[in-house]
């Protein structure tokens, strides 16, 4: 484990793993850390040097002023990590909420962004704008299941103090929109017992991505972008279509009958697609 200090004095933890061309990784969240992708992305270590980091306020990175828990500031932290490691430009692999960071990076630091792979992500987090396309992708049965779990959270957990149990209950309805097919759910659930993590930045980032809509800015992303998502990942089906419609240089890969964890659910096809994209 190594660390560097940002321009505003925040210590960021990072790790380098593997061999080959550097590939910077943006993890999901907000109750997540880079350790989960260190495990999931191990099949890429023979082809790439993967650079992982915990966002400010996440995992083993230092806490920061709450006013800096913004997605644009996380993108700037990524660029400062690039500069710290002496890279003229970088390619980025992002999963879930990390896609917001990666898109902000491509918009704010276009000269230093070579390629993006956006896995299970969306350019829009605003609930009122996502609701209809997500419900269409989800279908009636899974919608009822998600609504029931949301009602349970409101009745039993919403009024309680923050805790890992409350966080798990909060995510339960959302997990339904992302769930793997039945025979893989136990494998996905067992993959990362450390999650969720009670990060200092979590409530602030949740509000940040709930208010963000980058669709009108996608046309300014100049680099090639891989958009990869599973057909069972309802929000990312909606988001993936938005990305495909707005990005000038998008390559789209939809994984049939796969949820939000393609690295675990469909590793062969997922990693073959990623390898091919970054080798192009």
Quote the pLDDT of residue 173. 84
The CATH number given to 2-127+198-279 is 3.40.50.1820
Q: Are 178 and 259 in contact, with CB atoms under 8 Å apart? A: yes
* 260-271 per-residue burial string, b: 16 or more CB within 10 A, e: under 16: bbbbbbbeeebb
Our measurement of the distance from residue 58's CA atom to the centroid of its chain's CA atoms, rounded to an integer in Å, reads 14
Alpha helices in the chain (DSSP H): 35-40, 71-84, 98-108, 127-138, 140-156, 164-178, 185-191, 202-210, 234-246, 262-265, 267-279
Quote the pLDDT of residue 167. 85
pTM of the model: 0.95
* Per-residue confidence in pLDDT tens, the chain, 280 aa: 899 999 999 999 999 999 899 999 999 999 999 999 999 999 999 999 999 999 999 999 999 999 999 999 999 999 999 999 999 999 999 999 999 999 999 999 999 999 999 999 999 999 999 999 999 999 999 889 988 998 999 999 999 988 888 988 888 887 888 999 999 999 999 999 888 999 999 999 999 999 999 999 999 999 999 999 999 999 999 999 999 999 999 999 999 999 999 999 999 999 999 999 999 8
Q: What angle do CA 236, 242, 247 make, to 5 degrees?
A: 120
* 186-197 per-residue burial string, b: 16 or more CB within 10 A, e: under 16: eebeebbeebbb
Quote the pLDDT of residue 54. 98
Quote the pLDDT of residue 194. 86
Quote the pLDDT of residue 187. 95
Per-residue pLDDT reduced to its tens digit, 221-230: 999 999 999 9
Rounded Cα distance, 166 and 159, in Å: 9
């Amino acid at each position: 484990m190594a660390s560097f200090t940002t321009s505003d004095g925040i210590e960021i933890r990072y790790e380098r793993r593997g061999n080959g061309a550097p590939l910077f990784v943006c993890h999901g969240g907000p109750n997540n850390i880079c350790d989960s992708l260190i495990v999931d992305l191990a099949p890429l270590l023979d082809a790439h040097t993967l650079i992982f980091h915990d966002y400010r306020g996440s995992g083993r990175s230092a806490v920061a002023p709450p006013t800096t828990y913004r997605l644009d500031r996380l993108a700037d932290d990524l660029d400062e990590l690039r500069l710290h490691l002496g890279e003229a430009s970088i390619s980025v692999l992002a999963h879930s909420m990390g896609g917001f960071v990666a898109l902000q990076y491509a918009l704010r630091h276009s000269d230093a962004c070579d390629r993006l792979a956006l896995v299970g992500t969306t350019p829009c987090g605003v609930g009122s704008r996502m609701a209809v396309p997500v419900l269409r992708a989800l279908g009636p049965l899974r919608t009822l299941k998600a609504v029931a779990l949301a009602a349970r959270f409101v009745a039993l957990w919403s009024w309680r103090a923050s805790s890992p149990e409350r966080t798990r209950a909060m995510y339960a309805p959302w997990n339904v929109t992302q769930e793997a097919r039945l025979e893989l759910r136990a494998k996905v659930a067992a993959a990362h017992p450390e999650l969720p993590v009670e990060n200092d930045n979590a409530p602030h980032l949740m509000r940040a991505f709930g208010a963000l809509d980058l669709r009108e800015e996608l046309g300014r992303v100049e680099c090639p972008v891989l958009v990869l998502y599973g057909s069972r990942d309802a929000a990312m089906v909606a988001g993936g279509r938005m990305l495909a419609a707005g990005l000038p240089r998008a390559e789209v890969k939809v994984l049939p009958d796969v949820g939000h964890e393609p690295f675990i659910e469909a590793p062969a096809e997922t990693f073959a697609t990623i390898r091919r994209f970054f080798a192009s």
